[in-house]
Structure 1
Amino acid sequence: MDTTISLARSTAGGAAATKVPLHRIADDKTMLRTAAELTRDLIAPRAGVYWADLIASVVIGYGALAVAVTAGSTALAIAAGVVSMLALYRALSFIHEISHMKHAALPRFRGGWNALVGVPMLTPSFMYEGVHNLHHAKTRYGTVEDPEYLPLALMKPWTLPVFILVSALAPLGLLIRFAILSPLSLVIPGFRRVVVERYSALAINPQFRRRMPEGEAARMWNRVETAASIWAIAIVTMVATGTIPLRGFLIAMAIGSGVAVVNQVRTLVAHLWENDGEAMTVTAQYLDSVNVPPPALLPALWAPVGLRYHALHHLLPGVPYHNLGEAHRRVTAALEPGSPYHKASYKGLPGLVDKIVRSTMTVRR
């Protein structure tokens, strides 16, 4: 595979664009300094916003799920299912915030989220904590050590639909993970390490292996995993005995698949995926990432909880989701039109999907 794919950057005089490989893009110190200085007062999370948003998403999500399962009309079941999927997707997206937050700043939020979302949806917070932070490590981003990176734009076109479609199996995979693998890992020597290393991370890099947890992290992991395992076994038992009707179970699984697919589509366009494995500067990482700011409206649904500002998040990972919009407005107004900051903003999902599809079709092999 030819790995000379690069970002096009125009010269100052407006001449023909030159090609600069991602790993050779130097840091733009003006952009980095401006972004940091203008957002120092936006670091503190607002507990009221977090809790209100989470609880509203959970109430709507589970309420709509109940309607979908019990509806006598197919049309009503479908409509309620879509509402449930979008609301639960938003609720689940808080796992990203949890992986970044200082828990002392939002006491009990992680525990509340696990009780309301992580355990019921079989996606506890430990599946992302200790994993996502590696994606933000300057020397790991875009390399084989990044759990959340694949050079999708440099791969073959058929990999994109496979990347999306395989995510539909996530609810089944999670059910197997917690109802079967968790109990087995307690009785089969050596199997516990396999489960932790390979089946305990929300990662897309198949080469990634996570470390065994230690100390308080291990104790928290064990408590939450035990709860998720008991819940998963209870689900299987209730479906097998008819306590949960098969129709209702399949509807819930379909909604879970919808959540996973929408999230995978968002993941597909969260980056340009053009890095070939070399370490990159922060500016290069930013340019390989994506903002979809207003006036676009739909990103609020498919990239919720601040994920529409994914590139900005790579510059300022400590800014809570509810302040990213203000941060973007400040930095946008302060930096001149030629700043790299403006090059990471895109209009919407269709154009981003088209961009990566075209990249896979034009890469030289």
Structure 2
Amino acid sequence: MTTADSGQKVAIPWEPRLVTAMEEFSVKEAHTLLHGLFRPRMAVYWADFTLSLLVAGTAFWAVGPLGGLTVGGMAAFLVSVLAAYRCFAFIHEIAHFRAKKAFGPFRIWWNALFGIPMMVPVFMYECHGEHHNRKLYGTRQDAEYLPLARMAPSTIVGVLFTPLFLPFFGPYRFAVLTPLSWFVPRVREYLYRNASSLKLDFEYRGRQPKAEEKWVWRGQELLCLAWIATVTALVVGGVVPVGRLVQWYAMFAAIALVNSLRLLAAHRYLGDEDEMSIVEQMMDTVNHPRARLLAELWAPVGLRLHALHHLMPGLPYHSFPRAHSRLVAGLPEDSAYRLTESPGMAYTLRRLWRESRAHKKAGTLLDRQALKEAAV
């Protein structure tokens, strides 16, 4: 069986109704419905990110005078987490539009004011293109994917525990490994292969920087190191209270936790490490069109409509609401696109958990059957 637009063999044993919907779906028709929505409006990017950064910074500062354990302090902390998380989400847009000249200044602005201070410089997301590659999506060469629906539930739990340790990654990567890599080639090779990508799959191996990227990457590494050194000096000198460092750790861990939940809800993770067509990628991904204001908090900057993004990765985030409305109005009610919808994060996470448990149970039964047969 092949999909309508790609002619590729379907890699996942989809339900019959989904197979029919996929066969009838036309990427070309969907693209036609979205005519005029593909041009990024840079004023929106600049205003949204800058305002979000101001809100995050103000709320982070306000925790001090309000008191971290007061109602006001906790509210300010929550605002700082959500606003900073929205700032972080712009790295996704930067990765998709890095080839556009208009994004050059915005990329520098984002990196200088957020990427470097948070120790997530833009070069660490260069791997994102592989997540949209037809041959690499869902395979071992996709840093942002694990076949979680086919793995033990403990793997999902592990994804949710990782944020506790992520705040330590930046200081270790840039203050320890980076200086060592300048003098020890083997450390430098390890650094780019294992510690230079934002990834869900820890077994993913990154690439070395290209010749034209070498000094750009190293420059960002140096700036991160300088930032860490400056903050350390301010804390040791008593200019910045140690409590603020603890607050930063808590904020970073909270952002990472929200992002982990968002990642788990972004896909169905049914892949078997084989190639997927665009339509299959869309069906393996989830849209959360309901409760828009709430969804914008945990999946900001267009990430709540993730199936739409995988269908049309060249669509800027500010066009997503209008694009979704056009597709819903212009495509049949039983369209494959409509079948990607979820009523909310909780529903999506429960479904992933059920599928993971069912797979584990099926695997256990097969193992027992194999043991019986071997005994006979």
What TM-score, normalized to structure 1? 0.91
User: Residue 183 and residue 146 in structure 1: after superposition, are their counterparts in 2 closer, same or farther (change >3 A)?
Assistant: same
Aligned to 2:218: 222
Aligned to 2:367: none
Q: Does 288-297 or 154-163 show the bigger shift?
A: 288-297
Aligned to 1:119: 116
Q: 1:7 aligns with which of 5, 14, 24?
A: 14
Aligned to 2:294: 298
Counterparts of 1:265-284 in structure 2, within 5 Å, are 265-284=261-280
User: Aligned-pair RMSD on alpha carbons?
Assistant: 1.9
Instruction: Quote the Cα distance in structure 1 between the aligned partners of 2:131 and 2:345.
Output: 23
Deviation at 1:10, TM superposition (A): 2.5
Instruction: Quote the Cα distance in structure 1 between the aligned partners of 2:168 and 2:64.
Output: 18
What TM-score, normalized to structure 2? 0.88
Q: Does 284-293 or 161-170 show the bigger shift?
A: 161-170
Partner SS, residue 15 of structure 2: strand
Note the alpha carbon deviations across 1:11-33, whole angstroms, 9 max, x for none.
8xxxxxxxx6xxxx996464301
Note the alpha carbon deviations across 1:330-353, whole angstroms, 9 max, x for none.
111111112111110111111011
Note the alpha carbon deviations across 1:25-45, whole angstroms, 9 max, x for none.
996464301221122311111
Q: 1:63 aligns with which of 46, 58, 64?
A: 58
Q: 2:76 aligns with which of 69, 77, 80?
A: 80
Deviation at 1:228, TM superposition (A): 1.0
Tell me, yes or no, if structure 1 residue 245 matches structure 2 residue 241.
yes
Tell me, yes or no, if structure 1 residue 341 matches structure 2 residue 348.
no
Aligned to 1:208: 204
Instruction: Quote the Cα distance in structure 2 between the aligned partners of 1:302 and 1:219.
Output: 35
Could you list the runs of 4 or more consecutive aligned residues of structure 1 that deviate by over 6 angstroms after TM superposition?
none
Instruction: Quote the Cα distance in structure 2 between the aligned partners of 1:249 and 1:70.
Output: 15
CA contact (8 A) 1:293 1:308 kept: yes
Deviation at 1:296, TM superposition (A): 4.1
User: Residue 269 and residue 72 in structure 1: after superposition, are their counterparts in 2 closer, same or farther (change >3 A)?
Assistant: closer
Q: Does 244-253 or 93-102 show the bigger shift?
A: 244-253
Aligned to 2:102: 105
Instruction: Quote the Cα distance in structure 2 between the aligned partners of 1:55 and 1:46.
Output: 15
Which amino acid is 1:214 matched to?
A: K
CA contact (8 A) 1:31 1:340 kept: no
CA contact (8 A) 1:296 1:348 kept: no
Partner SS, residue 215 of structure 1: coil
Which amino acid is 2:35 matched to?
A: R
CA contact (8 A) 1:6 1:274 kept: no
Aligned to 2:372: none
Note the alpha carbon deviations across 1:175-221, whole angstroms, 9 max, x for none.
21111111111122321111111001001122221111123322321
Instruction: Quote the Cα distance in structure 2 between the aligned partners of 1:213 and 1:276.
Output: 29
- Quote the sequence identity (%): 37
Q: Does 210-219 or 74-83 show the bigger shift?
A: 210-219
Instruction: Quote the Cα distance in structure 2 between the aligned partners of 1:57 and 1:269.
Output: 24
Aligned to 1:167: 163
Note the alpha carbon deviations across 1:284-331, whole angstroms, 9 max, x for none.
110000110134431110000000111111111111000011111111
Deviation at 1:361, TM superposition (A): 1.2
Count of aligned positions: 349
Q: What are the ranges of 5 or more consecutive residues in structure 1 without an aligned counterpart? A: 12-19
CA contact (8 A) 2:163 2:254 kept: no
Aligned to 1:14: none
Which amino acid is 1:41 matched to?
A: G
Question: Higher helix proportion, which one?
Answer: 2
Instruction: Quote the Cα distance in structure 1 between the aligned partners of 2:185 and 2:40.
Output: 43
Deviation at 1:242, TM superposition (A): 3.3
Tell me, yes or no, if structure 1 residue 89 matches structure 2 residue 85.
yes
Q: 2:34 aligns with which of 30, 39, 42?
A: 39
CA contact (8 A) 1:266 1:303 kept: yes
Aligned to 1:15: none
Instruction: Quote the Cα distance in structure 1 between the aligned partners of 2:65 and 2:125.
Output: 33
Instruction: Quote the Cα distance in structure 2 between the aligned partners of 1:192 and 1:237.
Output: 26
Deviation at 1:6, TM superposition (A): 4.1
Instruction: Quote the Cα distance in structure 2 between the aligned partners of 1:319 and 1:219.
Output: 30
Tell me, yes or no, if structure 1 residue 49 matches structure 2 residue 56.
no
Which amino acid is 1:252 matched to?
A: W
CA contact (8 A) 2:21 2:336 kept: no
Deviation at 1:171, TM superposition (A): 1.2
Instruction: Quote the Cα distance in structure 1 between the aligned partners of 2:190 and 2:27.
Output: 40
CA contact (8 A) 2:94 2:103 kept: no
